[in-house]
Amino acid sequence: MLGVGSPGHPVGDIIPGGVFVYRNRQIDLSQQTPFLPPFGQRVLREGIADLDQEGWTLAAADIDLDGRDELIIGAPGVTVNGVEDAGAVFIFGRETPTGPLLLETRIDLAQLGIAVSPFRFGHAITVA
């Protein structure tokens, strides 16, 4: 799996950012539109908003130990409980080895009672 972050990617009239996932080893990088199916899947979630900066950081790891990597996406521009640039991290996984990526978990500091601006949670991600 190859994940490509595009934190300035537009969707309609807003710029929430985005992530594109490639599973196919036959990627032709000389193509002018490499993100279109069947080459790439745009990872989507509900509630995208302008300047979320989704895809600022990416990591992949089998964090639930099911034998398949999850895609961990940082979006440091996400507004949380009205607090701009509080940030969030989204974890996507697959139900089957070849199935689509689905949102499994959202993590933000409001879950810990913390939401300050500009905290930018998700600005960096590492997996150990």
Q: How confident is the model at residue 89 (pLDDT cuts 50, 70, 90)?
A: very high
Output the DSSP codes for 60-95.
EE-TT-SSSPEEEEEETT--BTTBTT-BEEEEEE-S
Q: Is residue 126 part of a domain?
A: no
Q: Note the pLDDT of residue 35.
A: 43
Nearest-10 Cα torsion for 74, 75, 78, 80: 0
Q: Which domain holds residue 37?
A: 2-112
SS3 24: coil
- Work out how many domains the chain is built from and give that number: 1
Q: Is residue 122 part of a domain?
A: no
User: What are the pLDDT digits (tens) for 20-76?
Assistant: 887 655 555 555 444 444 445 667 677 788 888 999 999 999 999 988 889 999 999
Q: Please state, in angstroms and rounded to a whole number, the distance separating the CA atoms of residues 77 and 5.
A: 14
Q: Is residue 75 part of a domain?
A: yes
Q: How confident is the model at residue 3 (pLDDT cuts 50, 70, 90)?
A: confident
Q: Is residue 43 part of a domain?
A: yes
Give me the chain's average pLDDT, please.
81
Q: Does residue 38 have a cis bond before it (omega within 30 degrees)?
A: yes
